[in-house]
């Protein structure tokens, strides 16, 4: 049935009126500083990648793009801050597998809803974790390390980037899968944890590879690498075996990153951010710097990222429940 011309004109006008705010928001966006909230302290992988992206966005948008570190509770503090922010695109979350997929299952309560409070923009990349020990430790392989800890239950401690982080979970999977007794010492990020390991205050750590100059510490002998948790050996440290090669395939995992905005942010604004970030990460020089640091760059559409988060949430829910790991 055809609509009368007057009714059709009315429907069209109403539709345009409803869409006008979003279109206007995108047309004049951005006209003030944009901030990217990183949920861990400076020096870690999230901080390294966020600052690379911010540096590329600033000349494109002609406004300041800043990185703000809001650490705490495995990333929940910073994520909650972004969830409460205005949905205008000027406050963005540098999300991780921890904030978006792990924390909602691992913690009994978190101050945000990972599904309802955010609008996914794009994936950014992923990194493997790496099992490190202090060079004074009498273990040169992952197998020797497991046997050492088993022989001395409760004597050895491992550092992490904080309670509930993917790095904490990776270590906890090692402990539980191998029946080990170790002391967990959580730090407020990768850098202080690595500093503790360098000082011999803890025996081991599972940080993400690009954090706190790890590759250089391994090459110089200040730290010893036993295994990486990715499917392939790391380009930055090709001599280090994968956990599968080391006989611990259950520890295989990567930490992934993505950009999100508060739920309700206008679609055209999200599209502009998606296009701009993907252009920055497609730049050969930026990509080369990130890959040299051990970060695999991975981008895509908004819908692709939303579907990826859903799959990852299901995967981590199964993994965490099977391992019976929970935090208050």
**Helix H or strand E segment including 71:** none
Confidence of residue 281 (pLDDT cuts 50, 70, 90): very high
* pLDDT at 3 > cutoff 80: no
Find the angle CA(34)-CA(80)-CA(209) to the nearest 5 degrees.
75
Q: Any idea which of 82-91, 143-152, 156-165, 277-286 has the lowest mean pLDDT?
A: 156-165
- Give the model confidence (pLDDT) of 15-41 as tens digits: 544 444 444 456 789 999 999 999 988
Burial class (CB in 10 A: 0-12, 13-18, 19+), 130: buried
Confidence of residue 116 (pLDDT cuts 50, 70, 90): very high
* pLDDT at 231 > cutoff 70: yes
Task: Please tell me the predicted confidence (pLDDT) of residue 316.
Answer: 86
Whether this model's pTM surpasses 0.85: no
| Cβ(182)–Cβ(149) below 8 Å | yes
Report how far residue 94's alpha carbon sits from residue 75's, in angstroms, rounded to the nearest whole number: 10
Mean pLDDT on 72-98? 95
- Token code pair at residue 218: 């391994």
Of 294 and 15, more confident? 294
- Token code pair at residue 288: 């080369």
Task: Please tell me the predicted confidence (pLDDT) of residue 8.
Answer: 46
| Cβ(131)–Cβ(142) below 8 Å | yes
* pLDDT at 197 > cutoff 90: yes
Task: Please tell me the predicted confidence (pLDDT) of residue 86.
Answer: 98
Confidence of residue 14 (pLDDT cuts 50, 70, 90): low
C-alpha pair distances (Å), 161 with each of 86, 89, 164, 205, 314: 29, 28, 9, 9, 23
All structural domains of the chain, each given as residue ranges with its CATH number in brackets, are 33-126+255-323 (3.40.190.150), 130-251 (3.40.190.10)
Sign (positive or negative) of CA dihedral 93, 94, 97, 102: negative
Report how far residue 271's alpha carbon sits from residue 91's, in angstroms, rounded to the nearest whole number: 15
What angle do helix axes 267-282 and 284-292 make, rounded to 10 degrees?
Answer: 70
What angle do helix axes 45-61 and 267-282 make, rounded to 10 degrees?
Answer: 110
- Cis bond leading into 44, ω under 30°? no
Of 112 and 4, more confident? 112
- Residue 92's DSSP bridge partners are 36
Confidence of residue 10 (pLDDT cuts 50, 70, 90): low
Q: How far is CA 296 from the centre of its chain?
A: 12
* pLDDT at 154 > cutoff 80: yes
């Amino acid at each position: 049935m055809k609509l009368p011309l007057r009714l059709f004109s009315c429907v069209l006008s109403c539709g345009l009126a409803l869409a006008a705010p979003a279109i206007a928001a995108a047309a004049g966006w951005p006209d003030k500083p944009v901030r990217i909230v990183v949920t861990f302290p400076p020096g870690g992988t999230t901080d390294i990648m966020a600052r690379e992206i911010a540096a590329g966005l600033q000349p494109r948008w002609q406004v300041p793009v800043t990185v703000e570190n809001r650490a705490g509770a495995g990333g929940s503090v910073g994520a909650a801050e972004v969830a409460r922010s205005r949905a205008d695109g000027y406050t963005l979350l540098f999300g991780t597998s921890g904030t978006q997929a792990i924390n909602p299952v691992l913690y009994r309560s978190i101050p945000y809803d990972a599904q309802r409070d955010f609008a996914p923009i794009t994936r950014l990349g992923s990194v493997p974790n790496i099992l490190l020990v202090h060079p004074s430790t009498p273990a040169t392989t992952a197998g020797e390390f497991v046997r050492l800890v088993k022989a001395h239950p409760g004597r050895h401690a491992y550092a992490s980037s904080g309670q509930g982080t993917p790095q904490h979970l990776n270590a906890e999977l090692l402990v539980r899968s191998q029946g080990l007794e170790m002391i967990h010492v959580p730090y407020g990020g990768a850098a202080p944890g690595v500093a503790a390991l360098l000082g011999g205050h803890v025996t081991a750590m599972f940080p993400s590879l690009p954090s706190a100059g790890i590759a250089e510490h391994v090459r110089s002998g200040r730290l010893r690498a036993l295994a990486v948790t990715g499917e392939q050996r790391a380009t930055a440290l090709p001599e280090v075996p994968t956990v599968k090669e080391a006989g611990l395939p259950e520890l295989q995992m990567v930490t992934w990153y993505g950009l999100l905005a508060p739920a309700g942010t206008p679609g055209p604004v999200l599209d502009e951010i998606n296009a701009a970030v993907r252009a920055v990460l497609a730049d050969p020089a930026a990509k080369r710097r990130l890959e040299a640091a051990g970060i695999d760059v991975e981008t895509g559409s908004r819908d692709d990222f939303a579907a990826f988060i859903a799959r990852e949430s299901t995967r981590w829910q199964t993994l965490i429940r099977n391992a019976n790991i929970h935090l208050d």
